[in-house]
């Protein structure tokens, strides 16, 4: 049963990935004519274009081109960046850790803060604290995250210059130790991570709040109270662990938003991750890089979804029974 369920999920994720690759192929190879991108120079002769087509295998039938494309992608040969002339995969490899650092820290903080706020609001439903937290989370949902980022720069880097307004570390600085370097990166991280956290916070808060409200009306909570257990112990030891479950599913849904946020927030803070790389590719019309970052974002979201499904399955015995 478990094996079949898992196999189904993995197969589903695999099919979604195949869809992405087919989609990418059609988008970039068929719709966006690759020779016009290869031969950017307007004075290239028809013979030169022919030669380019031959070099890149574009004179083959479409199915053959597709097979080549799948093979190249599987070998992580994602083409050459038109901006830097470096292999796209090398660019991605350099940028990925920075994005993971930003996105991971932001997600972690948003989960902790959001669920904590959700518990507070749910246990004080209808009171001032609840109303305040609800309004705050609606505001952070409606406000564009890059605008929040710009305001953070305005307030904490310009008016009260306590944090740097961009980049991941001080340019040209020599660090005497790893600790010094880490402190410098941390200093640069605070504003972008804050923007990322604020962007994700609202959803976690709303889900935790409604999940807590549901759990608090369940029979076992009443029974626990009847045993004479203090209220705060009932909340902390019995209600919260049960209410946390929907957050697992939410974190999976959120990964799509995280990818979008990475693009805009990294752009604002010149954070050298995949988002900044995508932004440069948009500006330069660097299609191979755009294609590569889209692929990596998609794979990231697909894998994250799969992991969240597995975690949910492991945590909730009700899913296993059905």
Partner 1 sequence: MSPEQAASAALIPAEAAIEAPTDEGGVRHLLLGTWRGRIGLGIVAFFIFIAIFGSLLAPYDPNASSLDTLAPPSWSHILGTTESGADVFSQLLVGARVSIVVGFAAALISAVLGSAVGLAGGYFGGWTDRSLDALENWFLVIPTLPLMIVLARILNPSLWVLIAVIGLTSWAGTGRIVRAQVFTLRERAFVERARALGAGDVYIIRKHILPNTLPLIFANTVLIVAVAILSEAALSFLGLGDPTRISWGTMLENAFDSGAPSAGAWWYVIPPGLCITVLVLAVSMLGYLFEEYVNPRLKEQEG
Tokens linked to 4: 């079949």
Count the neighbouring beta carbons within 10 Å of the beta carbon of residue 102: 26
Closest listed residue to residue 271, CA positions, set 165, 113, 160, 140? 165
Residues 117-146 that bind partner 1 (CB under 8 A): 125-126, 138-139, 141-144, 146
The encoded tokens of residue 312 equal 């949910």
What's the CA angle centered on 179, arms 175 and 182, to 5 degrees?
Answer: 85
**C-beta atoms surrounding 103 within 10 Å:** 24
With 0-12 / 13-18 / 19 or more C-beta atoms within 10 angstroms meaning exposed / middle / buried, residue 129 is middle
Q: Which of 256, 307, 313, 316 binds partner 1 (CB under 8 A)?
A: 256
For the CB of residue 147, give the shortest distance to partner 1 in the complex, in Å: 3
CB of 13 to partner 1, least distance (A): 9
Across-strand partners of 80? 87
Considering only 120, 263, 265, 308, the residue that binds partner 1 (CB under 8 A) is 263
Choose one: 58-66, 178-186, 232-240, 252-260; the region binding partner 1 (CB under 8 A): 252-260
Bridge partner list, 87: 80
Residue closer to partner 1 by CB (options 113, 150) is 150
Restricting to residues 92-121, name those near partner 1 by CB under 8 A.
none
Per-residue interface string for the shown chain with partner 1, residues 6-25, x marking contact by CB under 8 A? ------x--xx--xx-----
3-state secondary structure of 80: strand
Q: Which of 7, 10, 154, 223 binds partner 1 (CB under 8 A)?
A: 154
Residue 87's SS3 state is: strand
Total Cβ atoms within 10 A of residue 300:
20
Count of residues for the chain?
322
DSSP string for 292-319? HHHHHHHHHHHHHHHHHHHHHHHH-HHH
Residues 32-71, one symbol each (x = binds partner 1 by CB under 8 A, - = not), give x---------------------------------------
Residue closer to partner 1, measured from CB, 147 or 220? 147
CA distance linking residue 317 with residue 264, whole number of Å: 39
Residues 282-321 binding partner 1 (CB under 8 A) are: 282-283, 285, 287, 290-291, 293-294, 297-298, 301-302, 305
- What distance in Å separates the CA atoms of residue 97 and residue 80, rounded to the nearest whole number? 20
Tell me the angle at which helices 245-269 and 178-216 cross, rounded to the nearest 10 degrees. 140
Neighbours of 39 (CB within 10 A): 17
Min. distance of Cβ 182 from partner 1 in angstroms? Answer: 26
Out of 158, 160, 173, 321, point to the residue binding partner 1 (CB under 8 A). 158
- List binders of partner 1 among 210-229 (CB under 8 A): 210, 213-214
- Does 160 contact partner 1 by CB under 8 A? no
Of the residues 70, 76, 101, 157, which one makes contact with partner 1 according to CB under 8 A? 157
Which member of 119, 153, 169, 243 binds partner 1 (CB under 8 A)?
Answer: 153
Contact 39, 62 (CB under 8 A): no
Residues in contact with partner 1 by CB under 8 A are: 12, 15-16, 19-20, 27-28, 31-32, 125-126, 138-139, 141-144, 146-147, 150-151, 153-154, 157-159, 165, 210, 213-214, 255-257, 259-260, 263-264, 267-268, 278-279, 282-283, 285, 287, 290-291, 293-294, 297-298, 301-302, 305
């Amino acid at each position: 049963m478990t094996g079949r369920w898992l196999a189904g999920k993995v197969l589903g994720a695999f099919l979604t990935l195949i869809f992405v690759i087919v989609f990418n192929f059609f988008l970039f190879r068929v719709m966006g004519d690759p020779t016009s991108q290869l031969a950017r120079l307007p004075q290239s002769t028809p013979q030169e274009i022919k030669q380019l087509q031959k070099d890149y295998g574009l004179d083959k039938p479409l199915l053959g081109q597709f097979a080549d494309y799948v093979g190249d992608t599987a070998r992580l040969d994602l083409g050459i960046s038109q901006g830097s002339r470096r292999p796209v995969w090398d660019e991605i490899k350099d940028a990925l850790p920075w994005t993971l650092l930003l996105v991971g820290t932001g997600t972690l903080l948003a989960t902790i803060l959001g669920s904590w706020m959700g518990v507070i609001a749910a246990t004080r439903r209808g009171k001032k604290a609840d109303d305040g937290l609800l309004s705050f989370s609606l505001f952070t949902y409606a406000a564009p995250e890059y605008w929040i980022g710009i305001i953070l720069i305005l307030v904490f880097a310009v008016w009260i210059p306590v944090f740097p307004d961009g980049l991941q570390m001080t340019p040209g600085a020599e660090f005497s130790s790893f600790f010094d370097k880490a402190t410098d990166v941390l200093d640069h991280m605070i504003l972008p991570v804050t923007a990322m956290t604020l962007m994700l916070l609202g959803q976690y808060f709303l889900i935790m709040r409604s999940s807590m409200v549901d759990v608090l009306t369940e029979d076992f909570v009443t029974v626990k109270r009847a045993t004479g257990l203090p209220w705060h112990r009932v909340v902390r030891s019995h209600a919260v662990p049960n209410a946390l479950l929907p957050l697992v599913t939410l974190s999976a849904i959120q990964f799509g938003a995280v990818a979008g946020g990475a693009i805009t927030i990294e752009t604002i803070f010149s954070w050298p991750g995949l988002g900044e790389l995508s932004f440069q590719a948009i500006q330069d019309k660097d299609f191979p890089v755009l294609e590569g970052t889209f692929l990596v974002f998609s794979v990231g979201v697909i894998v994250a979804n799969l992991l969240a499904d597995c975690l949910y399955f492991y945590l909730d015995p009700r899913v296993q029974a059905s």
